């Protein structure tokens, strides 16, 4: 059985949160910054690297940075700091590593290319955290990342 990483420990501010509680807070922050196609994958039963992946998309690098900053600010207010931050301000993939919660913020094209949801297809989705899919505004003639994945478009 894979190691469970999720634990409730007090933060420096004395607030106790587990991976799912941090995931819910991160989902709300991403949604508030209009992140697209938010998904939370539960890796607890299939991997020891982390408990949860939060995967979402931004329409441009500015929005991706805003999503990352909002998530970071909301969790920091609760005394939760990331172990690391990866990606550049103009990059197509930003990553926030909170040990048992890893947050991936992609450009739409990078998300289709890396397709983490396909790589971790056996991981259950925690819809109670991410909620219903957030409607995505569509550029003319361009399928949404979710629709492209469903149709098998590379």
**pLDDT tens for residues 63-96?**
999 999 999 999 999 999 999 999 966 789 999 9
SS3 27: helix
For 33-46, the pLDDT digits (tens) are 999 999 999 999 99
% of the chain residues with pLDDT over 70: 71
% of the chain residues with pLDDT over 90: 64
Q: How far apart are CA 135 and CA 3, in angstroms?
A: 35
How many angstroms separate the Cα of 32 from the Cα of each of 13, 48, 63, 135, 136?
Answer: 24, 30, 11, 13, 14
pTM: 0.76
Q: How many residues does the chain have?
A: 154
Domains of the chain: 9-133+143-151 (3.30.460.10)
């Amino acid at each position: 059985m894979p190691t469970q990483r999720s634990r409730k420990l007090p933060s420096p501010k004395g607030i106790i949160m587990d991976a799912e509680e941090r995931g819910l807070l991160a989902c709300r922050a991403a949604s508030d910054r209009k992140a697209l196609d938010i998904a939370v994958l539960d890796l607890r039963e299939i991997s020891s690297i982390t408990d949860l992946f939060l995967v979402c998309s931004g329409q441009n690098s500015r929005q991706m940075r805003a999503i990352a900053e909002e998530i970071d600010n909301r969790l920091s207010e609760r005394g939760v700091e990331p172990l690391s931050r990866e990606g550049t301000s103009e990059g197509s993939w930003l990553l926030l590593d909170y040990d048992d919660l890893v947050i991936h913020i992609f450009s739409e094209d990078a998300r289709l290319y890396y397709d983490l949801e396909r790589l971790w297809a056996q991981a259950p989705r925690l819809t109670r955290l991410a909620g219903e899919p957030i409607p995505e505004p569509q550029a003319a003639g361009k399928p949404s990342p979710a629709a492209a994945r469903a149709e098998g478009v590379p």
